[in-house]
Structure 1
Amino acid sequence: MSINRSRLDRYISEKLNISRRDVRLLVAQKRIVVDGKTTDDISLIINKFSHIEFDSKVLQANKASYIMLYKPVGVVSATKDEQHKTVIDLLTFPEKSSLHIVGRLDLNTSGLVLLTNDSRWSERLTKPENKVKKRYIVTLKNPLTPDYIAAFEQGMYFAFENVTTRPATLAILSDYVAQVDLVEGRYHQIKRMFGRFRNPVVNLHRQSIGKLALDNKIKVGESRYLTPLEIEQIDT
């Protein structure tokens, strides 16, 4: 049984197929251990990563995983695909089949992709109201002008969805390269915004999500676990 959040007595009742009255007895007898501590609280809220034991027998021992990947161009942000290699295919971690993608990149975009099995963590990063900033480096076919800066800051109206994009920050790094910071990620948003200037995107690369930047020691296609500090920082 996999849970996100549950009362301890409900979880033990379903896991051992016993009544909640029997669970109360087990707890009173100090036979239930949660995260290394004997508990006397049947209403304790547990989650899928709580380590739970009954009479020294492990009932649940899931571990949260947080991974950064340097996604190459030509790889899809999906768990399965019949035509292309997926980001999951690039991973070598034993728990990779349980991971989901936090903020997808399209086929022709490279850069930072996060993967996890912690749905609450990924939801906090992807909810629009949390306004987690994503930074992209964009290479364009035609030269940039200062007009782009104001247009991105004002937001752009897309008639197809009947929405106006949230303000985005654009910095001109060179004649053909810009840095763009977004707090949303609509379908092909960056390419469509530059499309208003009839300026095709030649290369699109995601450099960071929140405070977490792609590790410059990771090569294209490689991945690693996030450090505890990175896990905490990206969520603030």
Structure 2
Amino acid sequence: MAAASNRLDRFLARRLQRSLKQIRLDLVKGRVNVDNELCDDPSRLVNQFTQIDYDGLVLQNNQPIYILLHKPIGVVCATKDAQHKTVIDLIEHPQKNELHIVGRLDLNSSGLVLLTNDGRWSSALTDPKHKVNKVYEVEVEHPITEDYITAFAQGMYFEYENHITAPALLRILSVNKAQVVLTEGKYHQIKRMFGRFRNPVLKLHRVAIGNYTLPPDLKVGEWQLL
């Protein structure tokens, strides 16, 4: 969902319903400002956050929004849902309906969720090629042994996707609690990996995505602007 770039002349032609020839003449006449500077270059690339003025009229002045949310259990990572409260429902912001979710958590998981209207930022955090760490605290039903560490580090084959998971780091915190660090996020990946040991996950809580960590004083259900 990367923010799309477009040529300035094409943006103006579409927005003002004028021909490209007319728009290029307007640019030469100095009728267009881009990010508060006069611009006469029709090939200038602009995106959703570029401020564009035409004869003093603001055509676009969108601001990027970055939100960190402490998701509760029972809330879905979706923009709309007929049955459950969504993460969007928890946010009071005039532009909340423009937001999308950066790395989802399932209904019964809690913790850090990021939301934004900036597709380039979210892609940088979620694209597997960037190998951004996602850190989880996991509580399972049965004791965790050293075998888990090796299995998680070697990766596991998921037949449904015909995919071997990227190496994951597992640290044993107590008899039945662990910290897991992933660089990808396949469907219910952590639950399925523990499932190989027939060890059901009782609690799954995300504490970090890359450099963004869940603040200890941010209560369940609360959010803050980054």
Structure 2 equivalent of residue 116 of structure 1: 116
Structure 2 equivalent of residue 30 of structure 1: 30
Structure 2 equivalent of residue 63 of structure 1: 63
Q: CA deviation at 1:162?
A: 2.1
One-letter code of the match for 1:136? Y
| 2:195 is the counterpart of 1:195 | yes
| 2:128 is the counterpart of 1:128 | yes
Alpha-carbon deviations, 1:150-202, whole Å to 9, x = none?
Answer: 01000111222222111100001111210000011111110111111111111
Separation in structure 1 between the aligned mates of residue 54 and residue 101 of structure 2, nearest angstrom: 33
Separation in structure 2 between the aligned mates of residue 23 and residue 82 of structure 1, nearest angstrom: 45
Separation in structure 1 between the aligned mates of residue 16 and residue 83 of structure 2, nearest angstrom: 43
Structure 1 equivalent of residue 211 of structure 2: 211
Gaps of 5+ in 1: 227-236
> RMSD value over aligned CA atoms?
1.1
Give % identity: 57
Separation in structure 2 between the aligned mates of residue 172 and residue 5 of structure 1, nearest angstrom: 45
Separation in structure 2 between the aligned mates of residue 162 and residue 42 of structure 1, nearest angstrom: 47
Any idea what SS the aligned residue of 1:171 has?
Answer: strand
Any idea what SS the aligned residue of 1:53 has?
Answer: strand
Separation in structure 1 between the aligned mates of residue 222 and residue 124 of structure 2, nearest angstrom: 25
One-letter code of the match for 2:29? Q
One-letter code of the match for 2:118? D
Which TM-score applies when normalising by structure 1? Answer: 0.92
Q: CA deviation at 1:223?
A: 0.6
Structure 1 segment 1-236 matched on structure 2, within 5 A: 4-226=4-226
Alpha-carbon deviations, 1:124-173, whole Å to 9, x = none?
Answer: 22212111110000011111111111010001112222221111000011
Change (3 A) 1:160 1:25: closer
One-letter code of the match for 2:77? S
Separation in structure 2 between the aligned mates of residue 25 and residue 193 of structure 1, nearest angstrom: 61
One-letter code of the match for 1:164? I
One-letter code of the match for 2:71? K
One-letter code of the match for 1:97? N
Q: CA deviation at 1:217?
A: 2.0
Q: CA deviation at 1:37?
A: 0.7
Separation in structure 2 between the aligned mates of residue 71 and residue 78 of structure 1, nearest angstrom: 12
Gaps of 5+ in 2: none
Separation in structure 2 between the aligned mates of residue 122 and residue 176 of structure 1, nearest angstrom: 33
Q: CA deviation at 1:55?
A: 1.1
